[in-house]
Amino acid sequence: MNYLKKLFNSQATTSYTKWIKTLSTRTNHLQQQSGLPRLPITDLTEDELMMKETVARLAKEQIAPYVREMEAAGSLKQSVVDMLFDNGLMGVCVDPQYGGAGASFMASIQVIEEISKVDPAVAGLPDIQNSLVNPIIETFGTREQKEKYLPQLCAKLISSFALSESSSGSDAFAMKTTAKKDGDDFLLNGSKMWITNADLAGIFLVFANADPSLGYKGITCFIIERGTPGFIIHKPERKLGLCCGGTCALSFDNVRVPSSAILGGVGLGYKICMSLLNEGRINIAAQMVGLAQGCFDATVPYTMERKQFGKPVFSFQAMQHQIAQIATQIECARLLTYNAVRLKESGKQFLKEAAMAKYFAAEVAQQTTIKCIDWMGGVGFTKDFIQEKYYRDVKVGSIYEGTYNIQLNTIAKQIENEYKT
Nearest to 339 by CA among 47, 84, 106, 128: 106
DSSP 63: I
Please identify every residue annotated as catalytic: 401
CB of 80 within 8 A of CB of 200?
no
Contacting residues for 148 by C-beta, under 8 A, at least 6 apart? none
- Give the type of residue at 200: L
DSSP 40: P
- Under DSSP, is residue 405 helix (H, G, I), strand (E, B) or coil? helix
Give the angle subtended at the CA of 74 by the CAs of 222 and 196, to the nearest 5°.
Answer: 20
CB of 267 within 8 A of CB of 355?
no
CB of 125 within 8 A of CB of 66?
no
CB of 218 within 8 A of CB of 268?
no
Nearest to 254 by CA among 184, 177, 199, 202: 177
Number of Cβ within 10 Å of residue 28's Cβ equals: 11
DSSP 245: S
H or E, element range at 93:
none
Number of Cβ within 10 Å of residue 93's Cβ equals: 18
- d(Cα 237, Cα 239) in Å, to the nearest integer? 6
- Give the type of residue at 280: G
